[in-house]
Amino acid sequence: MRDASVVIVGASTAGAAAAYTLRAVGHEGPITLVGAEDTAPYERPPLSKTVLTAAEEPEAVWLLPTDTYASRDITLRLGAPVTSVELASGGFSLTIEDREQIAADVVVLATGGRARRPAGLPEDPRIHVLRTWADARALRAHMRTAHRALVLGSGLIGAECAASASAQGLDVEVLEMQTTPFPSIASRAVRTTLLRTFAEHGVRFRTGVTVNNCTPTDDGLVVQLSDGTVLEVDLLVVGIGIEPATELAERAGAATERGVLVDESMRTSVPGLYAAGDVASRRLGGRLIRHEHFASAQAQGEAAARAIAGLEPVPLPTPWAWSDQFSHRLEVPGEPDAADYTRLRQPGDGQIVEFSIADSRLVGLTALDQPRVVREARRLIGGRLRGSANDLERTDVPLKQLVDAP
Ligand SMILES: Cc1cc2nc3c(=O)[nH]c(=O)nc-3n(C[C@H](O)[C@H](O)[C@H](O)COP(=O)(O)OP(=O)(O)OC[C@H]3O[C@@H](n4cnc5c(N)ncnc54)[C@H](O)[C@@H]3O)c2cc1C
């Protein structure tokens, strides 16, 4: 299938990686990368960090130099939402904006996800979500005139937005529906340290509450919480996760389960239809996993390309998420949620590594400000412990002497 026509829907991390890798492995057929946004594929991680905090508005960080598409004969169609993907005589027919049809032998769905919004929130420019470059520019501009910010959700994006708003001098309060702040972080020690840092910067948390009602007024937003509290703020950032954009896959007849179900080569249940990145979910050892991390999206785009080119699959790399909050770098390689038990290493000065162990193997870790240990550990995840798990708490022994390479 070196000459198959391939259309990739979604011009972001997974889609750009799929297009680039296809050419890199010698695919000769036409490749079209179609994206709903007007912007060439860019990195999203800076959107909640430097794009909000830099003194001058930074340029987008392009995933690939923008001349790469033309030089590799990849057709880039921007501002072109695909409205349907249908099976058609041995291939697919895609509709762009309900008016233009394009044909493809193979389709990759790299449609990512949409930021969730609680039902009932009014449409108001002072209520923000953060998923796209346009969202980040709007939030950045608003942060420069606002004084009081309310952040809904203390997942990674909510926490980063709260830290960035605080760094801009805003008075920041964070609402968390769960009973503990940062509920997606497996390590209690890390959560505690982060909470202390946020408190030192004056960021307040309310847990076990959510927004019941939000009324825009001339002066701001009047937000009524589920515990009856009423807050008046200038801006509200909603950071409560994403909804994977599975609708095209569903209409094409592909199996979905909290994402588009794929195998290790990113094949969906429909022959010739692949999915990669935040939209793709996989069954692995009885667990359903769907990553929402940059490195996974990139690796999955590459894996889809290799499969289309007929190459043997290479194992997907260990998942690895990172997040910057104030001066902290949080890193989460592997699958800490799969742990039977954990061991904590605290070298001091707020630095933490919590090792997650299942079946005498290192399955993941949650680390704060420990880049060197993370670098070493990423190669060892899946490896068997050599001795007692308690040895992981020692800082005087290199990790590779404690864990066998997988
Ligand atoms: C603010 C922010 C900060 C982040 N920070 C980090 C971080 O620090 N570390 C980390 O590991 N990860 C981070 N991430 C997550 C990471 O950016 C994502 O995992 C990654 O972007 C997923 O890539 P993707 O290509 O699968 O999907 P997306 O990036 O969501 O891209 C999907 C693209 O598909 C397009 N699309 C959807 N439907 C259609 C359609 N029907 N037709 C055409 N186009 C369509 C969308 O417009 C979008 O451009 C962050 C994400 C955000 C939003």
For residue range 13-24, what is the model confidence (pLDDT) as tens digits?
Answer: 999 999 999 999
Same domain, 234 and 346: no
CA of 248 from ligand 1 middle (Å) equals 16
Which residue is closest in CA terms to ligand 1's atom 30? 112
pTM of the model: 0.96
Domain of 396, in residue numbers: 327-401
Q: Which two tokens stand for residue 396?
A: 């005087």
Q: Is the CB of 241 under 6 A from ligand 1?
A: no
Nearest CA to 322 out of 380, 366, 277 is that of 366
Closest approach atom of ligand 1 to CA 278: 26
Whose tokens are 């066998």? That residue is 404
Compute the distance between CA of residue 154 and CA of residue 166 in angstroms, rounded to an integer.
Answer: 14
Compute the distance between CA of residue 228 and CA of residue 209 in angstroms, rounded to an integer.
Answer: 9
Domain membership of residue 314 (yes or no) is: no
> pLDDT tier at 214 (50, 70, 90 boundaries)?
very high
Q: Is the CB of 41 under 6 A from ligand 1?
A: no
Nearest CA to 143 out of 118, 120, 160, 156 is that of 160
Same domain, 152 and 233: yes
Radius of gyration of the CA atoms of the chain, in A: 22
Strand partners, 74: 31
- Domain end position, chosen among 274, 308, 342: 308
CA of 63 from ligand 1 middle (Å) equals 12
Same domain, 223 and 362: no
Same domain, 131 and 206: yes
Compute the distance between CA of residue 139 and CA of residue 381 in angstroms, rounded to an integer.
Answer: 38
Domain membership of residue 221 (yes or no) is: yes
Q: Is the CB of 44 under 6 A from ligand 1?
A: yes
Compute the distance between CA of residue 356 and CA of residue 354 in angstroms, rounded to an integer.
Answer: 7
Sequence-distant (≥ 6) Cβ neighbours of residue 200 within 8 angstroms: none
Compute the distance between CA of residue 318 and CA of residue 278 in angstroms, rounded to an integer.
Answer: 15
Same domain, 102 and 246: yes
Write the Ramachandran bin of 330: left for phi over 0, alpha for psi from -120 to 50, otherwise beta. Answer: beta
- Domain end position, chosen among 238, 257, 290: 238
Q: Report the SS3 class of residue 209.
A: coil
Domain membership of residue 126 (yes or no) is: yes
Q: Is the CB of 53 under 6 A from ligand 1?
A: no
DSSP class of 123? P
Same domain, 13 and 93: yes
CA of 41 from ligand 1 middle (Å) equals 10
CATH number at residue 274: 3.50.50.60
Contact between residue 298 and residue 330 where contact means Cβ atoms under 8 Å apart = no
Same domain, 86 and 24: yes
Same domain, 209 and 285: no
Same domain, 73 and 131: no
Q: Which two tokens stand for residue 402?
A: 């404690």
Summarised one tens digit per residue, pLDDT across range 52-103 is 999 999 999 999 999 999 999 999 999 999 999 999 988 999 999 989 999 9
Domain membership of residue 210 (yes or no) is: yes
Chain-wide mean pLDDT for the chain? 96
> pLDDT tier at 374 (50, 70, 90 boundaries)?
very high
Domain membership of residue 58 (yes or no) is: yes
CA of 44 from ligand 1 middle (Å) equals 6
Same domain, 264 and 168: no
CATH number at residue 378: 3.30.390.30
- Domain end position, chosen among 196, 214, 238: 238
Domain membership of residue 259 (yes or no) is: yes
Same domain, 232 and 124: yes
Number of domains in the chain: 3
Q: Report the SS3 class of residue 159.
A: helix
CA of 340 from ligand 1 middle (Å) equals 31
Domain membership of residue 318 (yes or no) is: no
Same domain, 47 and 137: no
